[in-house]
């Protein structure tokens, strides 16, 4: 019990020391106007450097990320086919694909997949 308490205390002390050291070393003391401004080939920017963000692109990127993760979850199902019961494997696979297809239908029905708008 004493060794567990000692190792937990040591871990907490080392963690706090690392965080304090990182915060002290990471501070920028000098605020330079040139370093804070956006870089445009050495010239002052004529307009705002911030471009308006396309919400459409963000939505498509999130949908892609969701389907990419789902594909990564579906792929191992082929490898566990020989080691699992076929009925359980089929039930889980069909349920997972059904949820995936229902989500795709919902996104299509809401118009999230239209590029032309």
Residues 21 and 60 in one domain: no
11 is a domain residue: yes
Report yes or no: 73 and 96 within 8 Å, Cβ to Cβ: yes
Co-location of 24 and 66 in the same domain? no
Domain that residue 63 falls in: 55-110
Interaxial angle between packed helices 86-110 and 55-74, expressed in degrees from 0 to 180 and rounded to the nearest 10? 170
- 78 within a domain of the structure (yes/no): yes
Q: Are residues 20 and 60 in the same domain?
A: no
User: Could you give the number of structural domains in the chain?
Assistant: 2
Quick check: is 68 in a domain? yes
| Together in a domain, 103 and 59 | yes
For tokens 């979850």, name the residue: 73
42, pLDDT greater than 70: no
Tell me how far apart the alpha carbons of residues 38 and 41 are, in angstroms, rounded to a whole number: 10
* Tens-digit pLDDT profile for residues 48-104: 666 677 777 888 888 888 888 888 888 888 888 888 888 988 898 899 889 888 988
What radius of gyration, in Å, describes the C-alpha atoms of the chain?
Answer: 26
Task: Identify whether 70 is part of a domain.
Answer: yes
Structural domain includes residue 102: yes
CA-CA distance, 16 to 10, in Å (whole number)? 10
Round to whole Å and give the CA distance between 18 and 27.
14
**Cβ–Cβ < 8 Å for 111, 117:** yes
d(CA 81, CA 89): 7
Report residue 25's pLDDT band, with 50, 70 and 90 as the boundaries: confident
């Amino acid at each position: 019990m004493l060794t567990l308490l000692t190792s937990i205390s040591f871990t907490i002390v080392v963690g706090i020391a690392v965080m304090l050291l990182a915060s002290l070393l990471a501070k920028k003391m000098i605020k330079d106007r040139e370093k804070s401004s956006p870089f445009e080939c050495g010239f002052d920017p004529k307009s705002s450097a911030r471009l308006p963000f396309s919400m459409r692109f963000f939505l498509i990127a999130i949908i892609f990320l969701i389907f990419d993760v789902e594909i990564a979850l579906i792929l191992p199902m082929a490898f566990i086919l020989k080691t699992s019961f076929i009925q359980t494997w089929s039930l889980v696979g069909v349920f997972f694909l059904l949820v995936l297809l229902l989500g795709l239908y919902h996104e299509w029905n809401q118009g999230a997949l239209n590029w032309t708008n």
